Amino acid sequence: AAGVIQSPRHLIKEKRETATLKCYPIPRHDTVYWYQQGPGQDPQFLISFYEKMQSDKGSIPDRFSAQQFSDYHSELNMSSLELGDSALYFCASRMDSRFGNEQFFGPGTRLTVL
């Protein structure tokens, strides 16, 4: 069965650079969530999209932006990278067809900021 695809899987950037992370949800899933997981920490919700519109916003820094495209894939754009942005970034997708439907997580993108 198709799963959530994230690219790249690993990314190394330097301070003040920009990065773009991509997420391809499971087919027919219309909702995408982004999470940030620092070393030894639980995932923190950043932002979510439903039908290409932002549906909820969490602890996403102003330096980050995201969008969902017409094919439902999503991109997380990160600018002016800081050392503290080094983390595992997860994308999850969900089909908003019934109450409480599960989020399926991608494998994550490990971002290292040097």
Q: Which of 4, 66, 76, 87 binds another protein (CB under 8 A)?
A: 4
Q: Residue 100 is encoded by which pair of tokens?
A: 């409480």
Site string for another protein, 83-102 (x = CB under 8 A): -----x-x-x-x----xxxx
Report the C-alpha gap between 12 and 96 in whole angstroms: 34
Three-class secondary structure of residue 46 per DSSP: strand
Residue 41 CB, nearest distance to another protein (Å)?
A: 8
Residue 80 CB, nearest distance to another protein (Å)?
A: 26
Three-class secondary structure of residue 75 per DSSP: strand
Report the C-alpha gap between 64 and 81 in whole angstroms: 9
Q: Does 110 bind another protein (CB under 8 A)?
A: yes
CA 57 to chain centre: 12
Residues near another protein (CB under 8 A) are 4, 31, 33, 42-45, 48, 50, 55-56, 58, 88, 90, 92, 94, 99-108, 110
